[in-house]
Amino acid sequence: MKIKNLESAKQDLREGFHFYESQETGIGSYFLESLFSDIESLRLFAGIHAIHFGRYHRLLSKRFPFAIIIVLRRVR
């Protein structure tokens, strides 16, 4: 499976990092590690998440109040 992060998602990750890092040094890095771990889990579990708005799967982060929105596309 190929995972592509949209530029808007990358911006959300940057902003999340800065927010959590401003709370306490090191939490921003933990935030990114946690979200990237959640994203990597898609290689095993993509497609099992609840569908929202008719076509988007949503994975809720395990440790932070963030959602990862997934669009599955068949590759030919």
Could you report the per-residue pLDDT of 4-39, keeping only the tens digit for each?
777 888 999 999 999 999 999 999 999 999 999 988
Full-model pTM: 0.78
Q: Would residue 1 count as lying in a domain?
A: no
Decide if 3 contacts 43 (C-beta within 8 A): yes
Residue recorded with tokens 């109040």:
65
Provide the number of structural domains found in the chain.
1
Structural domain span for residue 46: 7-70
Structure tokens at 23: 């709370």
Phi/psi at 3 (nearest 5 deg)? Answer: -110, 130
Q: Cα(9)–Cα(59) distance, rounded to whole angstroms?
A: 14
The reply to whether 45 falls in a domain is: yes
Kindly report each contact of residues 14-23 with a partner whose C-beta sits within 8 Å and lies 24 or more positions away, as own/partner.
Answer: 16/64, 16/66, 20/64
Q: What local confidence, expressed as pLDDT, does residue 5 receive?
A: 74
Q: Does residue 42 sit within a domain? A: yes
